[in-house]
Structure 1
């Protein structure tokens, strides 16, 4: 399978202000990770280990002032992390991002349909808002609702619809099932699996091991700790592993 996105030897230091001085904290340390076309990779690890920062690096959304080293490759092209113009050209079209807080990622005073229509126009999408909603199993009248009128599961599906509008080759989903009941979580995994079946490479950052295992949509697991990817391996191999850290992650129950 072709690799649609990868990090190689990627490290990032983030500036932290303390009093009148400025220190830096290393949040990613020589990260190696590959996301393959037509596959779902789950990025798992303890809280605070840098998982969301990996998604930020792959989406070109590193915090201002970050000092980075190593390579980010999207679709075979080595990206300059500081080149915001280049990243803007990729986001939406080549890279779709499902944010961690879907419910707050939309403007509350505009309807879902108007916001999806704006995204479709900007990306030159081949589907309209109604078609996008249908693709994520939402009723047609969702386009006339405001974000505050949606349940958590519906808001998450609207966020997925927005991320899929440009038919990206890489889909990044940050904790997409963390606040959902099992039924909605299963549906979200189904939609991520469908994006994979359509040819996208999907990277899912998750703590929700029960829904990940129930869904049976995950191909690979990448394991993080203390800013590093310790290993990337097939899910079957992860489940058979005797490594105590990996076993603890796979047996975890979401808070």
Structure 2
């Protein structure tokens, strides 16, 4: 597959009130091909959403992105605000995790869906409204029950998320970014929204970047996955390969803490106990000089401390694209060791 999006060496820094510069994302490489579905995984604070905001040109005030983000060969980081506005919504669109804050409460849903089509596609108001009605019907909000004149507060959480998806799809983007699109929804509605996204991506041959902490969703929805920790990529590969051999202890820890995976194993007759990864993602200003996961890692040794380990292929012929940034990866088929309690790592 030809590459639609190429990210190389992406770093995002932001000044702090003390005057220090915090590095939120560092050295991220990522590619997307047309029609490909990639999952971006990690705990809160690992840099997933900041990476997505850098792609959209929506970083917070004062934040600075460096490296390259190429869309069909054009470096988005070299574009000015006006040029980026022509990309945002037209070539790359985003489904945000909280629809009530993503939608304007004082504008009708019809006006919000039509806005991008009027701006980017130069449609008349009537043409845009006709397409907006068709989009609402496609995302499961058919007329006349769901009028273009409704306001966001008149809809449920799941219905609002469908409106956000319709807005993102309005201009037929090449890339759809879905940032925790089901976080605030109940389980039944979550499944409906994920099925809808999968169908729409397949219909339109879009590339999908799915940001989530739910490994079960990644396994069902994506072809390839990227695991981030403390602003860096720590494991990447085909989703099936990573699930078959979770090499980085952090990926293994996420798997061990996943209720859905525990239920899957119980269904096969094997009972396991869920475990939690102790500690938390380090503050960007207090990130260790070496492997940022070492203080929480059951496999950490002294050689993990001097410098962050590079992302290296695992050396398995059938998993040539599977790589992990770890000096002491989990062996194939290994069960995770007991995670260290506070202060026990590296002893």
**Residue 170 of structure 1 corresponds to which residue in structure 2?**
175
Are 2:53 and 1:56 aligned? yes
Residue 234 of structure 1: how far off its partner (Å): 1.1
Query: Cα distance 1:156–1:32, how it changes in 2: closer, same or farther (>3 A)?
Result: same
Is 2:95–2:165's contact at 8 Å kept on the other side of the alignment?
yes
> Does residue 185 in structure 1 map to residue 182 in structure 2?
no
1:133 aligns with 2:139: no
Contact 2:98 2:183 in 1 (8 A): no
Partner of 2:242: 238
Q: Which moved more, 1:41-50 or 1:66-75?
A: 66-75
Q: Which has the higher contact order (CA 8 A, sep 6+)?
A: 1
Matched, 1:160 2:165: yes
**Contact 1:43-1:203 within 8 A present in 2 as well:** yes
On the 8 A contact 2:65/2:77 being kept in 1, the answer is: no
Cα distance in 2 between the residues matched to 1:28 and 1:242: 23
CA contact (8 A) 1:43 1:224 kept: yes
Q: Distance in 1 between matches of 2:42 and 2:78?
A: 24
What root-mean-square deviation, in Å, do the aligned CA atoms of Structure 1 and Structure 2 show?
1.9
Q: Tell me the residue number matched to 1:206.
A: 212
2:77 to 71, 77, 80: 80
Structure 1: state its 5+ residue gaps. Answer: none
Query: Given the superposition, is the C-alpha separation of residues 180 and 212 from structure 1 closer, same or farther in structure 2, using an over 3 Å criterion?
Result: farther
Higher share of residues assigned strand: 1
Structure 1 residues 113 and 236, CA, compared in 2 at 3 Å: closer, same or farther? same
What pairs with 1:242-253 in structure 2 (closer than 5 Å)?
A: 242-243=246-247, 244-250=249-255, 251-253=257-259
In structure 2, relative to structure 1, the CA distance for the partners of 1:57 and 1:253 (3 Å cut) is farther
Shift of 1:146: 1.2
**Match of 2:2?**
2
- Indicate conservation of the 8 Å contact 2:157/2:184, yes or no: yes
How far has the Cα of 1:103 moved from its partner? 1.6
The equivalent position to 1:39 in structure 2, one of 32, 36, 39, is 36
Instruction: Identify the range of structure 1 (81-90 vs 6-15) with the bigger mean alpha-carbon deviation.
Output: 81-90
Deviation at 1:64, TM superposition (A): 2.8
Q: What residue number does 1:15 align with?
A: 15
Alpha-carbon contact 1:12-1:26 (below 8 Å) kept: yes
Measure how far apart 1:186 and its partner are.
1.6
Deviation at 1:6, TM superposition (A): 2.4
Number of aligned residues: 249
| Distance across 2 between alignment mates of 1:231 and 1:242 | 8
Deviations for 1:157-216, whole angstroms, at most 9, x for unmatched residues?
A: 110110000100011111101112222212222222223312111101112333444xx2
Q: Deviations over 1:102-155 (max 9, x none)?
A: 122122122211222223212326761111111111122322321011111111
Q: Which runs of 5+ in 2 are unaligned?
A: 261-347
Structure-2 separation of matches of 1:114 and 1:242: 46
Pair 1:227-2:248 in alignment: no
Answer yes or no: is the 8 Å Cα contact 1:33–1:232 preserved in 2: no
Larger radius of gyration: 2
